[in-house]
Structure 1
Amino acid sequence: MKPVQSLPVPVKNPSRRRVDLRLPLPQRDVSLAVPLPLPPTSAGSSSSSSASSGPSAPPSSNPKNYSDLERGNRIGSGAGGTVYKVIHRPTSRVYALKVIYGNHEENVRRQICREIEILRDVSHPNIVRCHEMFDQNGEIQVLLEFMDEGSLEGRHVSNERDLAKLSFQILNGLAYLHGRHIVHRDIKPSNLLVNKAANVKIADFGVSRILAQTMDPCNSSVGTIAYMSPERINTDLNQGRYDGYAGDIWSLGVSILEFFLGRFPFNVSRQGDWASLMCAICMSQPPEAPASASPEFRHFISCCLQREPGRRMTASQLLRHPFILRGASQGQNRSPQNLHQLLPPPRPLSSSSSSSSSAASSPMT
């Protein structure tokens, strides 16, 4: 019996290799790698449940099934959606469920769902918590923290110390959002909610930001024109550049001044027509706090309602303003010192506006 001989292994011809066609592997910079959220599935809660299992999710964000929610009465309508009061049957906890308007195309829907998943990681005591997202029968719904005292719309806060405490909480939340590169786009009294513990929280920061990607920036369902900054309404201002962070500060200033006055601070109706509001906001001088207010408060409003966006203070800077520090000090008497060092250079005075600007300049003397 002859031994089985192994077949010779064919040897590749080295002469056939093309050295000039060898491509180097790309070098991956791991410091630039970021995790991408998974696209949602039709199961609705399954995709959002997986996102809450990471170590960064707070203990209270346990996954919730849509079938466990019992929808109650409608509690309001906000930017792009209707809000309902719901009860989570297994825990008997009350939440707010926001149903987002619109029949969006599939690629837009997937982007909206990705954005909401990212916003679920936003956690701050002055931000309304986003607990869950559902893609239910083609309808995007967001489960939010329930604020039992409703919004601050129509509230009159004439006491400056109380107003400073309220402003301090709003600025805390706004500084947190801006620090995470999130622009709200729709700061207004109806998007500032309060609970029985007197905690003020910013709502609708996610929906406003998401819908702005697919809708006209001046559409009332994305941002209420009454609280928009002049350069956002009239794109010819500020050389056509729009700074969303500075736009939020303008909206904050209008809202805080409205709380103090008990009325919309411009000389037009807040529910007026678009043209009247545009003329009042873009062509008239910014509103000012009355002369009866304290120098700190008048200066604070002036820091927010500067016509040029670059001269408005940031949220972090406003947290150090004497008016805010007075409210945060819980009754300690602080005198307004060196206010002129806080505010950017005042707007130039003209013969037509010198009388109206004198009140805003007085705290700086």
Structure 2
Amino acid sequence: MITPYSTQHAQCSVDIDNLETLGLLGRGCSGTVLKAIDRSTNTLYAIKTVHNVYDRAQRRQILTEIQTLYSVATPWLVDFYGAFFKDHALSLILQYCDRGSLDALVRQHGAIPERILAHMTYQILSGLQHLKEARHFHRDIKPQNILVTSDGYVKLTDFGLARELTGTFDMAQTFVGTFKYMSPERVQNEPYDFSSDIWGVGLVLLECALAAYPYGECGSYIDVVQSILESPPPALPTDAFSTEFQDFLNDCLRKDMESDVPTK
């Protein structure tokens, strides 16, 4: 169903009254992502909506914080056009990336060759470095949060959003991300920093190279956590991937990670 938007508390560069939803792009435990079009310009957008934001006193503060966070402009972060509240839900107007997420790309096409992963890696690390220089880090690196466009750009999305909403949802800080992609310090409920993002990058790249989650899809929560804490990362097939790429992933997935971006 195509539905026009109307709302309160809008802080947007897009006229919300001109937006119509065209379909569902994705659904998570706390909200949805819809494809939308601006009827006046025929521009496509992604509308990410997080439900159950009830605290009225925090709404404007959250809008300001999220706008500040997304003001870190770079080609490697998804473009942000505004945010608004409606019916206890927070909606973000974001760039529409027409090739979808890395998760969808791997499910559709299988393992990604090293030469393409190298190009993607440069862009992902550039985006994270840009966030770091602005004193932010992502906190939720996973294939679903890395988007691809038809002109070859790889863009990070959902960066820092969980932190801005932690107080509203009363979520435990350490478990705001998808646990399968959490670094060892996060699964142990220890303080974490930028190095946790680098761990996530390594795990995502390894998954893209193998076309499967590196620590097994069928294991229980405890099994996955134990693998994250104790197991070395799986080796890549040597006939398809270089030693340098394997070494790079091993650096990303060190258990004693420092807060520096690998540069090999």
Q: Give the TM-score taking structure 1 as reference length.
A: 0.64
Is the counterpart of residue 274 in structure 1 residue 221 in structure 2? yes
Is the counterpart of residue 139 in structure 1 residue 89 in structure 2? yes
Which residue does the alignment assign to 1:173? Answer: 127
Which residue does the alignment assign to 2:255? Answer: 307
Which residue does the alignment assign to 1:153? Answer: 103
Contact 1:81 1:100 in 2 (8 A): yes
Identical columns (%):
34
Is the counterpart of residue 258 in structure 1 residue 207 in structure 2? yes
Whichever residue aligns with residue 95 of structure 1, its letter is Y
Deviation string 1:138-167 (CA, Å, 9 cap, x unpaired) is 321110000011111151444221211111
Aligned equivalents of 1:252, 1:303: Cα separation in 2: 11
Which residue does the alignment assign to 2:4? Answer: none
Aligned equivalents of 2:19, 2:194: Cα separation in 1: 36
Which residue does the alignment assign to 2:188? Answer: 234
Whichever residue aligns with residue 102 of structure 2, its letter is L
SS in 1 for 2:102: coil
Aligned equivalents of 1:278, 1:107: Cα separation in 2: 37
Aligned equivalents of 2:29, 2:196: Cα separation in 1: 17
Aligned equivalents of 1:206, 1:234: Cα separation in 2: 20
Structure with the higher fraction of residues in strand conformation:
2
Contact 2:30 2:51 in 1 (8 A): yes
Whichever residue aligns with residue 65 of structure 2, its letter is E
Whichever residue aligns with residue 152 of structure 1, its letter is L
Aligned equivalents of 1:307, 1:69: Cα separation in 2: 46
2:56 aligns with one of 106, 118, 136: 106
Which residue does the alignment assign to 1:347? Answer: none
Indicate the structure (1 or 2) with the bigger Cα radius of gyration. Answer: 1
Which residue does the alignment assign to 2:172? Answer: 216
Q: Structure 1: give runs of 5+ residues left out of the alignment.
A: 1-41, 50-62, 322-365
Which residue does the alignment assign to 1:325? Answer: none
Which residue does the alignment assign to 1:128? Answer: 78
| Deviation (angstroms), 1:81 | 2.4
| Deviation (angstroms), 1:272 | 4.5
Contact 1:288 1:301 in 2 (8 A): no
Which residue does the alignment assign to 2:47? Answer: 97
Is the counterpart of residue 196 in structure 1 residue 150 in structure 2? yes
SS in 1 for 2:212: coil
Contact 1:153 1:190 in 2 (8 A): yes
Aligned equivalents of 1:124, 1:272: Cα separation in 2: 38
| Deviation (angstroms), 1:285 | 2.3
After the TM superposition, which of the residue ranges 72-81 and 189-198 deviates more from structure 2?
72-81
| Deviation (angstroms), 1:249 | 0.5
Structure 1 residues 120 and 302, CA, compared in 2 at 3 Å: closer, same or farther?
closer
Contact 2:36 2:47 in 1 (8 A): yes
After TM superposition, the structure 1 = structure 2 runs for residues 56-67 of structure 1, keeping only pairs within 5 Å, are 63-67=13-17
Whichever residue aligns with residue 231 of structure 1, its letter is E
> What RMSD over aligned residues (CA atoms) do the two structures have, in Å?
2.1
SS in 1 for 2:198: helix
After the TM superposition, which of the residue ranges 295-304 and 150-159 deviates more from structure 2?
150-159
